[in-house]
Amino acid sequence: MAPQGGTPPLVLLFSGKRKSGKDFLTEALQSRLGADICAILRLSGPLKEQYAQEHGLDFQKLLDASTYKEAYRRDMIRWGEEKHRADPGFFCRKIVEGVSQPIWLVSDTRRVSDIQWFREAYGAAMQTVRVFASEQSRQQRGWVFTPGVDDAESESLGHIRRYSSSAYQLYSHSKFPEREI
């Protein structure tokens, strides 16, 4: 569970709706801090990898923001929820394997069980960051409401707000001019 050097001093769990800017913000933080200091961990990575293996799909295409991924998104969400019910910590354990950097940015926290797992594993080192963006900003970034995806429990995030008030809240209502980061 712990990184190669032991427990990390800081684990930030980012949550927010699709196209709210979670990936952009975590990548900007890593760019500022350096990849040797800061690791971006994506819970969706091992989920997509396992889903691709079990369904004979192209894992690399599931990682990008393509129409290929969108074609499988609903079923992938359903499949991922089944996996989480069977073993809530499965994907959390996968993403921390072999990580040696002292700062971890988990860019896509969507479930209370993820927060619980990181809290139990890393205690006070774990903090939550909620990323907000207006619907208009999300649409400018390519978001389109998709039934079965945007109204799924994993996307509503209300359950996370009820369970854990975010230690930090970031508002990203623009197209992120580079100079602002």
Residue 19 annotated as lining a ligand binding site = yes
Question: What pLDDT sits at residue 118?
Answer: 95
The torsion angle over the Cα atoms of residues 21, 145, 62 and 24, rounded to 10 degrees, is: -10
Looking at CATH, the fold of the domain delimited by 10-180 is given as Rossmann fold (3.40.50)
Residue 20 annotated as lining a ligand binding site = yes
- Any idea which residue has 């910590």 for tokens? 89
Residue 18 annotated as lining a ligand binding site = yes
| Residue pLDDT, tens place only, 21-32 | 899 999 999 999
Residue 162 annotated as lining a ligand binding site = no
| Residue pLDDT, tens place only, 30-70 | 999 999 999 999 998 899 999 999 999 999 988 876 788 88
Residue 21 annotated as lining a ligand binding site = yes
| Rounded Cα gap, residues 163 and 118, in angstroms | 14
For the chain, which residues make up each domain, given as ranges?
10-180
Residue 22 annotated as lining a ligand binding site = yes
Q: What is the pTM of this model?
A: 0.77
